[in-house]
């Protein structure tokens, strides 16, 4: 296991180093991670809402059962059947406890839905911030690439002002060098 742990740490450190050296890729990775978190949170919210709907249906069903047993308690008391009334009363009490428990579970689900929706808003806000940063980074990279190309092309292709100035200077040197050569020849002939 130690070899795999070492290899895993090595690969993670290389990945982190690579992402530090390529910040635009780090932003892309972060964006992808936020997209996945957003999808997971949306699935969680949908699942919790489905559970809440089932819970509401169970509560409604339990309430109807409680009502049915309450009527039976009253009917048995009216008929003088205390044995049935007591048993029906116990069933009604058990259903009330079950209903209260289900109500508490539904309230817990509602709280989790609320928290998940707040989390979703934070994720979406963070994703928007990262998208803005990624767009800025892309614009900056494009500007830097364009600037680099201009500078590189400047070295490869001299501008016309330099080339015409260079031609004038070249001409002056040639004229001066020719004059100098003629002067030397005259002196040599004169000897």
pLDDT at residue 9, as a whole number: 78
The residue with greater pLDDT, 13 or 112, is 112
pLDDT at residue 179, as a whole number: 83
The residue with greater pLDDT, 83 or 168, is 83
In 3D space, the residue among 44, 164, 59 whose CA is nearest the CA of residue 114 turns out to be 44
pLDDT, one tens digit per residue, over 105-157 is: 999 999 999 999 999 999 999 889 888 888 887 888 788 778 777 777 655 55
As a dihedral over the C-alpha atoms of residue 33, residue 35, residue 40, residue 44, rounded to 10 degrees, the angle is 140
Neighbouring residues of 20: CB distance < 8 A, sequence distance ≥ 6? 26
Neighbouring residues of 158: CB distance < 8 A, sequence distance ≥ 6? 166
The residue with greater pLDDT, 26 or 95, is 95
Confidence at 73, pLDDT banded by 50, 70, 90? very high
The residue with greater pLDDT, 40 or 4, is 40
For residue 43, give the H/E element and its range. Answer: helix 23-78
């Amino acid at each position: 296991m130690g070899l795999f742990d070492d290899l895993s740490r090595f690969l993670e450190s290389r990945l982190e180093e690579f992402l530090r050296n390529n910040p635009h890729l780090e932003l892309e990775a972060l964006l992808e991670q936020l997209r996945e978190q957003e999808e997971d949170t949306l699935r969680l919210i949908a699942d919790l809402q489905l559970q809440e709907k089932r819970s509401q249906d169970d509560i409604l069903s339990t309430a109807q059962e409680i009502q049915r047993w309450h009527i039976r308690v009253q009917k048995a008391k009216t008929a003088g059947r205390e044995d049935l009334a007591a048993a029906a009363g116990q069933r009604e009490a058990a259903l009330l406890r079950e209903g209260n428990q289900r109500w508490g579970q539904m309230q817990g689900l509602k709280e989790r839905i609320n928290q998940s929706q707040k989390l979703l808003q934070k994720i979406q806000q963070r994703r928007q911030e990262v998208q803005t940063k990624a767009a800025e980074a892309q614009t900056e990279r494009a500007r830097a690439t364009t600037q680099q190309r201009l500078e590189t092309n400047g070295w490869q292709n001299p501008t016309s002002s330099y080339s015409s100035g260079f031609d004038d200077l070249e001409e002056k040197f040639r004229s001066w060098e020719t004059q100098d050569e003629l002067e030397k020849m005259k002196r040599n002939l004169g000897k």
